[in-house]
Amino acid sequence: MLLGCIGDDFTGSSDLANTLAKAGMRTVQYSGVPTGAADADVQAGVVALKSRSIAPADAVRQSLDALKWLQAQGCEQIFFKYCSTFDSTAQGNIGPVADALADALDAHKVIVCPAFPGAGRSVYQGYLFVKDALLNESGMENHPLTPMKDANLRRLMAAQSVHSVGHVPAEAVFDGAEAISARLDAEHAAGHRMIIVDALRDSDLMQIGAAAKGLPLITGGSGVALGLPANFGISPAQVPWQAQSGKAAILSGSCSTATRGQIAYHVARHPSLKIDPAEVISGSQTPEVVAKWLAETDGLPLAYSSADPDEVAAIQARFGADTAAHALEDFFGKTAVCLTEHGVSRILTAGGETSGAVVEALNIRTLEIGPEIDPGVPALRASDTLVIALKSGNFGSEDYFEKAANMLGGN
């Protein structure tokens, strides 16, 4: 294994795996830290954790375990993948995990770059934009678990990391890899260890990737991985895919703006069932009943708890945010298990936490990476009889669910 990656959620990990697979690396996504050795032909291993919203000490411990396993597979470089919208709380977990990995790897110039232009996320003057809006005006300020109320990455990182935070501005990035390396050196000499790097275009990320050659640790969104495979002499390749026929169903616990748009589109055209969190918590709505409905309903049925910020706030005020989140994640995980018992062979999930809960409940250990459905979302094969697609909340076009079911099925 050449490149070892640690993802702080499952959809984000498949986003990164998608970038690396498209760039030609033989990539496998693992659910949690594997117990055995990786297959000898794997070039990039992505260990997916569900560590974005847990206690920082647990996130650090899990990430260091993942690091140890990746090092044992012979990795030459480590990539810590977090969200392109820098999803985190005042405590972390981006800062504490980056600090711990930097110490373990003796890394002193740590790139911090969440940019993902393909999904509209760019970094300029150290501020994070989502399309034409600052992060804190993009809808992310209403996220149910990690509301992002600031777009200043230097300030966000300084609050989470024990290290001084530097910056490589766009002017240096536009001048290419050598200028970026020189500026990273200068920021290091000035006493900064975590270094925010501006990036607006894929071409910027390619230059940042080239400048990252030989660095022990890189952190960021999937965009900054675009240029890494070339450092290992690997070039882009067509990603193979074996289509899967059979029944498809959709589970969505994502309350992000893009998912809510996709749900509105889907509800108008396909059978859909809205899940009431209060009924899930009381036990009057069960996974068995919802799975049976999904399995027996023609077309492309959807079950969703996704709701707008007012509804989410009301549920959180009534039950507590953690209780509601865990009850729904548990519900979707159990529903997915029942779906496979009904023979459903294509499962689409929306939302990072939701997807993590589903993959864990299904006890999927490794995921083979297929072709891209929409930017940041690959088709995934879980077994000989099951394929899935894990969509990050804000990814995908309006008709994403139809597109994903078709691509998984080879239509």
Residue 62, interface with ligand LCNOYBR7 (CB under 6 A)? no
Q: Which residue has the tokens 């970094």?
A: 123
Residue 303, interface with ligand ATP (CB under 6 A)? no
Q: How many CA atoms lie within 13 A of 9 on its CB side?
A: 31
From the list 82-90, 102-110, 149-157, 264-272, the region that binds ligand LCNOYBR7 by CB under 6 A is: 82-90
Beta bridge partner(s), residue 127? 124, 152
d(CA 257, CA 275): 18
Q: What are the strands of the beta sheet with 133-134, ordered from one edge? A: 121-124, 127-130, 133-134
From the list 19-27, 41-49, 155-163, 386-394, the region that binds ligand ATP by CB under 6 A is: 386-394
Instruction: Say which DSSP state 195 is in.
Output: E
187 binds, among ligand LCNOYBR7, ligand ATP, none (CB under 5 to 8 A by kind): none
307 binds, among ligand LCNOYBR7, ligand ATP, none (CB under 5 to 8 A by kind): ligand ATP
Q: CA triplet 10, 14, 18: central angle to 5 degrees? A: 170
Residue 18, interface with ligand LCNOYBR7 (CB under 6 A)? no
Beta bridge partner(s), residue 111? 195, 218
State which of residues 25, 67, 70, 83 lies at the interface with ligand LCNOYBR7 (CB under 6 A). Answer: 83
- For residue 162, give every residue at least 6 positions away whose Cβ sits within 8 Å of its Cβ, in sequence order, or none: 95, 99
Q: Please, what's the b/e burial string for 349-380 (b: 16 or more CB within 10 A of its CB; e: otherwise)?
A: bbbbbbbbbbbbbbebebbbbbebbbbbbbbb
State which of residues 376, 390, 391, 403 lies at the interface with ligand LCNOYBR7 (CB under 6 A). Answer: 376
Q: What is the smallest separation between the CB atom of 391 and ligand ATP, expressed in angstroms?
A: 7
Residues in contact with ligand LCNOYBR7, counted by CB under 6 A, come to a total of 13
- For residue 104, give every residue at least 6 positions away whose Cβ sits within 8 Å of its Cβ, in sequence order, or none: 64, 67
Residue 14, interface with ligand ATP (CB under 6 A)? no
What single-letter amino acid sits at 98? A
Residue 83 vs 294, nearer CB to ligand LCNOYBR7: 83
Residue 13, interface with ligand ATP (CB under 6 A)? no
Q: What is the smallest separation between the CB atom of 87 and ligand LCNOYBR7, expressed in angstroms?
A: 6
Residue 144, interface with ligand ATP (CB under 6 A)? yes
Site residues for ligand LCNOYBR7, window 170-229 (CB under 6 A)?
A: 221-222
Q: Mask 344-363, x = binds ligand LCNOYBR7 (CB under 6 A)?
A: --------x-----------
d(CA 167, CA 247): 49
List residues binding ligand LCNOYBR7 (CB under 6 A).
9, 11-12, 15, 83-85, 116, 221-222, 352, 376, 392
